[in-house]
Amino acid sequence: MSNTTMLILVTILGIALLLFLVMRSKLQAFVALLISSIFIGVLSGMDLNDLIATMEEGMGGTLGFIAVVVGLGAMFGEMLRVSGGAERLALTLVNKFGDGKVQWALGLTGFIVAIPVFLDVALVILIPIVYSLAQKTKKSLLYFGIPLLAGLAVTHSFIPPTPGPISVASIINADLGWVILFGAIAGLPAMIIAGPIFGKYISKKIHLEVPKYIVDKEYLENEVEKTNRELPSFKTVCLLILIPLFLILINTVFGLILEEGTFVHSFLTFIGHPFIALTISTLLTFYILGTKRGYTKEEVQNIATKSLEPAGIIILITGAGGVFKQTLIDSGVGDVLGNMLATSNLPLVLAAFIISTFVRIAQGSATVAMITAAGLMSPIINLMEVSEPMLGLIVISIASGATVFSHVNDSGFWLVNRFFGMTEKQTLQTWTVMETIIGFVGFAVVFAISFFV
């Protein structure tokens, strides 16, 4: 057996082991990625001491960026949640758009809110508004719920600083400015088609009432009334969410225009780095939505500390993804995969989508699918001359593949199933189709753009 054939076989076995550990053994993805990395390293013939050094390099190199960005993003999002900023966005947009275009308001709300707030948390915050609208209008819950879910899902997968695209960008060394730009370009049409358009269609096919276990109408009215307490202003919330995105985009755009070495270039590069951009926005959020509105310093500190609990596992899983990537590179698997892809003439964007789709369908977790696909693509990218814009497109392509075909092995499937009171069949007809539309529309957009980059 040739060395190339052996490395390909080892890679296939390593991925199969990863899927088995996550799906069948229900092992935490962090541990499963580490075990699979060790498995590939040992079977490919790496020196054991070198393998340990590779694991340290992969973990440290990835977490040096991810830990800071995800940590700051989590604190920013939690402060927005606690202060009622998410509710303010939803209520203002619903009122501004009016009854006739409330679907569009909910889709846009989800799109904006999910930038700093995790999808499941955002859904918990906003679902009472959907319940109330459904009861008031007597329309299917899906008429309002699908647009909101589409907005949340698109941003969760496509727009940094959410963990998925941040992790992929870190692993393949993509510039976040390009990721944000292409994520928005691909995400908005995906949200429109999968949200208001598909929501209007499917709500005529499946009529859902507010779930019986959601107490009663009085509860819903109280939930919506609670969101009318002294909330932060709409403009303030929008400004705080857009500040880090704006600074990162400025860094990317003016980095191409201005001459390197000048003071302006250095200054914009500094404030536009994700570390600085998110630090600025997080500190402003603590002050404007926290201490300025009556929170004590101790309360703000407790909010920040609590926010890091769910972020911890995301950081570790991403770090393990960095180990997986580095093992593929140092074991020689990356060279083999790169040469195979080069001779196959398969576009990088398409290869990235196919790989992440396969992992997504097999094991369910979008985050694991993104990280695994990024780990497999990284050594291939290292062998080729890939431009910064193309790296951004590859990130969104991976995110698109990791979004499609959400089914019973995905925690998001059951989250929506519970909040909407649907059967498994109805969840497949609604949530699964919506996620698949998002993924394929997002991929179609970036694939088209890739011909011009």
State pLDDT tens for residues 174-223.
Answer: 998 999 999 999 999 999 999 999 999 999 999 988 877 654 544 445 55
Return the closest-CA partner of residue 249 out of 229, 268, 230, 222.
268
Closest C-alpha among 188, 229, 235 to residue 83: 229
Q: Is the pLDDT of residue 237 over 60?
A: yes
Please report which confidence band the pLDDT of residue 390 belongs to, taking 50, 70 and 90 as the band edges: very high
Q: With cut-offs at 50, 70 and 90, classify the pLDDT of residue 128.
A: confident
CA distance 99 to 260: 51
Lookup: tokens for 20 = 């088995």
Q: How far apart are CA 48 and CA 54, in angstroms?
A: 10
Average pLDDT over residues 430-442: 96
Taking a C-beta distance cutoff of 8 angstroms, is the pair 354, 66 a contact?
no
Q: What pLDDT is attached to residue 329?
A: 80
The HSE-up count of residue 25 (CA atoms within 13 Å, CB side) is 13
Average pLDDT score, the chain: 85
Percentage, residues of the chain above pLDDT 90: 29
Res. 404: pLDDT tops 90: yes
Helices (H), 346-409: 348-363, 366-382, 388-401
User: What is the pLDDT, as a whole number, of residue 215?
Assistant: 47
Local confidence band at 30 (pLDDT 50, 70, 90 cut-offs): confident
Higher pLDDT, 11 or 245: 245
Distance (Å, whole) CA 86 – CA 234: 9
Most confident of the ranges 76-85, 397-406, 408-417: 397-406
Rounded CA gap, 362 and 70, in Å?
Answer: 26
Q: What is the pTM of this model?
A: 0.85
- Note the pLDDT of residue 122: 84
In this predicted model, what pLDDT tens digit does every residue of 340-376 receive, in sequence order? 776 677 889 999 999 899 888 877 778 888 988 888 8
Q: In angstroms, rounded to a whole number, what is the distance separating the alpha carbons of residues 262 and 283?
A: 28
